[in-house]
Structure 1
Amino acid sequence: MKMKVFSLLLIAAGLLIIVYGGWKIYDTNRQTGDSLTDAKKAVAAGGSLDGSSAESFKPAMGEAVGILYIPRLKAELPIVEGTSADDLEKGVGHYKGSYYPKQNGQIVLSGHRDTVFRRTGELELGDRLEVEMPYGRYAYEIIKTKIVDQDDTSIITLQNKKEELVLTTCYPFSYIGNAPQRYIIYAKPL
């Protein structure tokens, strides 16, 4: 009798985990879709927005501000200001304090390996990345990738000597739980 109850509890726990996981995937996809719609509106508004030039562009935290295109993956991803857990559920997070295109500095974009950046491991050196903002569309070429420890923050320099695009995500891609490393992609403007 005790074994039967224990088995039923295990089955119930497993079903709850599956339902919760399914809900999280659905909710993240919904939020990313909503953010993409908002980002497209922001980009389409272009010059009619306050701060629509590169120099004065300063969006609010959590705001959908642009679109990251990854042609090789046929991906169109919303860029959201901020990298909190809530921001990353909406799309690709722009690291606060980093720059935007045409601001002559390090642009840092982060995303979850199991949502928006789940296929970044398929990218190769020379692949193109495009960032569309309300003030223009900018192309970059991947020039380097590397893997670092999860606490290695040396890749975020926030330098403003030359423009570079840096994508970050957790690694290994198929790891379950909190990944011990980060996968970094460096790209230069074209």
Structure 2
Amino acid sequence: MRRIGNLLLLVGIICIFIYGYQISSLEQKQDTALVEATQKIEHEDKPKEVIEAGNFSPHDNFFVNAGEAFATLEIPKLDKQLPVVGGTDPDSLDRGVGHLSNSVFPGQGEQILLSGHRDTVFRDFGELEIGDQFVVNMPYGTFIYEIRETEIVPEDDTSVIRDMGEEVLVVTTCYPFHYIGGAPERFVTYAYPVENN
């Protein structure tokens, strides 16, 4: 009986070590991506400004590669600044918030879709409410969006990805927030450009 207890204790210690290593590795990848994104934003030659909704001519030639950190997402309510990377594949999501490649970029007048893990970049995402804001810092300017709607959809519901006829920042993560294992649903926020006064 004592051997079984010792064996279970050893297995528990190994599991904690593996989990700690994985979390540390993910945080290091996200920190590296944040530095890369910040450098890209700061070293762009174009002047930076807060862009008013509807007053931006999109950079038609703006392009990012899968896994490339190119922007930051600030969530003032959660006091977070996160790297935004190209793609929503597992490697990209390990580096930060993923930008769906077939959605547009801020200022281009359509759906911008960002996605992230609830247990890494979007920890505490459940604290967000209608009226809270997202700030997207791009190499060509800063864009502010306000959450106006939220919904919960099944994990395989792709109707969230669609033409919307206007600029909308759609941010998704897994739901329920504290679910253990692969979550069966997605929490979706719809945030609209804030006009400067």
TM-score w.r.t. the length of structure 1 is: 0.92
Is residue 36–residue 78 contact of structure 1 (8 Å, CA) maintained in 2? yes
Distance 1:152 1:160 in 2: 16
Is residue 171–residue 179 contact of structure 1 (8 Å, CA) maintained in 2? yes
State the match for 2:190 in structure 1: 186
Structure 2 segments unaligned to the other structure (5+ residues): 47-57
- Spell out structure 1 runs of 4+ moving beyond 6 A: none
> Within 5 Å, which residues of 2 pair with 1:159-178?
159=163, 161-178=165-182
Among 105, 110, 116, the alignment partner of 2:110 is: 105
Q: What's the C-alpha RMSD, in Å, of the aligned pairs?
A: 1.2
Measured after TM superposition, the shift of residue 85 of structure 1 is 1.1
Say which SS state the counterpart of residue 102 (structure 1) adopts: coil
State the match for 2:54 in structure 1: none
Measured after TM superposition, the shift of residue 86 of structure 1 is 1.1
Structure 1 segments unaligned to the other structure (5+ residues): none
Q: Which amino acid aligns with 1:42?
A: K
Distance 1:102 1:180 in 2: 32
Distance 1:151 1:57 in 2: 30
Q: Tell whether 2:61 aligns with 1:63.
A: no
Distance 1:60 1:87 in 2: 10
Say which SS state the counterpart of residue 81 (structure 2) adopts: strand
Shift in CA distance, 160/55, structure 1 to aligned 2, threshold 3 Å: farther
TM-score w.r.t. the length of structure 2 is: 0.89
Measured after TM superposition, the shift of residue 15 of structure 1 is 1.1
State the match for 2:6 in structure 1: 8
Measured after TM superposition, the shift of residue 180 of structure 1 is 0.8
